[in-house]
Amino acid sequence: MATTGLVYHEDFLLHEGDRGHPEHPDRLRAALSGLERDGLIDSLVKLEARVATREELELVHTPLCIDYVEKTSRKHKGSLDYETYANRATYHVAALAAGSTNAMVEKLIAGKCRRALALVRPPGHHATASRSMGFCVFNNVAIAARYAQRHCDVHRLLIVDWDVHHGNGTQEIFYADPTVGYFSVHQHPLFPGTGSAGEIGEGEGAGFNLNVPLPAETGDEGFVSAITGSLPNFWQKVRPQLVLVSAGFDAHELDSISQLRVSTAAFARLTEFVLGLAGNTPVGFVMEGGYDMRALADCWHEVARVCIEE
Ligand SMILES: [Zn+2]
């Protein structure tokens, strides 16, 4: 059995927009309820959440971008872009999401756990170095990757992004960087519009960015084989010392934001597949999208179960 960590903080519930916005605090309550089912949560090692320092945020984001989030968060109701809201808690909560993902990485590298789950929000993979967008404020996974390199003696990382949307922010941040491999499977065309197979990275990073765009109605077999077919070779190329999964569950068949129609069982298979490739390499699952409450509960339950039973 692998020791599996969990980082979570109830302050993640404080970032809240207008009623009806799909990215709301109940998403996190749902994910947590999935971990509570069958008492799985009792088997998880609780890792301490913490707020990222300004210096940590600047590992990825421009000072202007960070200032803008901070300034917008002084208002009762603000917006960072046309669909990314902010309230008075947003700066704190977004910095807590980034800091907690860094804390998870520290524990993974220190060997305190071999697998870990970061139930954080707001999500991160659309946020670029210079702007928050697509419900994402700071790019939690990208910051954690840079943090691992700067502070944890990790040189090569792999980011596996199975959120139904392409992680344009993460791709852009590491596009010319051969030390961080970015692998994304996503519905295409769909927001944000990037993520074609021809986007392979540039300069020294050429070949270290792999997109697998999939059409609507792909279903389980197509989704799973898109990952099992192309991830192993990419993994060998990157030779990661740490793997971060941008774990969104909005490709789920219950989720009305997309049309890939993937089942809970397929996400369980993919979790097993990634852990099988990883072996002793540490893996952290970081919450991205997912807008159906039952799908979130079921999928996070399965990720935790597979990690614990490994
Ligand atoms: Zn998404």
pLDDT of residue 304: 98
Q: Please state, in angstroms and rounded to a whole number, the distance separating the CA atoms of residues 225 and 229.
A: 5
pLDDT of residue 252: 98
Segment 31-59 mean pLDDT: 98
Using the predicted structure, report yes or no on whether residue 93 has a pLDDT greater than 80: yes
**Residue 111 C-alpha to ligand 1 middle, in angstroms?**
30
Q: Which residues are marked as active site?
A: 126
**Which residues, 6 or more positions from 114, have their beta carbon under 8 angstroms from its beta carbon?**
2, 3, 4, 108, 280, 282, 283
Peptide bond into 122 cis (omega under 30): yes
Pair type for strands 209-214 and 157-161: unpaired
**Residue 163 C-alpha to ligand 1 middle, in angstroms?**
5
Q: Please state, in angstroms and rounded to a whole number, the distance separating the CA atoms of residues 85 and 121.
A: 13
Placement of tokens 């990222």 in the chain: 52
Q: Please state, in angstroms and rounded to a whole number, the distance separating the CA atoms of residues 299 and 283.
A: 17
**Residue 153 C-alpha to ligand 1 middle, in angstroms?**
30
Q: Determine contact, residues 15/94, Cβ cutoff 8 Å.
A: yes
pLDDT of residue 56: 98
Beta bridge partners of 85: 79
**Residue 168 C-alpha to ligand 1 middle, in angstroms?**
11
For residue 165, the one-letter residue type is: H
Q: What is the pLDDT of residues 171-186, one digit of tens each?
A: 999 999 999 999 999 9
| 203: containing domain | 4-309
- State phi, psi for 294 to the nearest 5 degrees: -70, -40
Using the predicted structure, report yes or no on whether residue 75 has a pLDDT greater than 90: no
pLDDT of residue 1: 62
Secondary structure (3-state) at 167: coil
**The pTM is what?**
0.98
In the DSSP assignment, the letter for residue 253 is T
Q: What is the pLDDT of residues 194-236, one digit of tens each?
A: 999 999 999 999 999 999 999 999 999 999 999 999 999 999 9
Report residue 32 as tokens.
């947590």
**Residue 209 C-alpha to ligand 1 middle, in angstroms?**
19
Number of domains in the chain: 1
Q: Quick one: which H or E segment has residue 217?
A: none
CATH number at residue 269: 3.40.800.20
**Residue 288 C-alpha to ligand 1 middle, in angstroms?**
7
Length of the chain: 310
Peptide bond into 123 cis (omega under 30): no
Report residue 10 as tokens.
């109830």
Placement of tokens 């207008």 in the chain: 18
Segment 141-159 mean pLDDT: 98
Q: Please state, in angstroms and rounded to a whole number, the distance separating the CA atoms of residues 143 and 98.
A: 7
For residues 247-265, b (16+ Cβ closer than 10 Å) or e, as one string?
A: bbbbbbbbbebbebbbbbe
- Residue-averaged pLDDT of the chain: 97
pLDDT of residue 205: 98
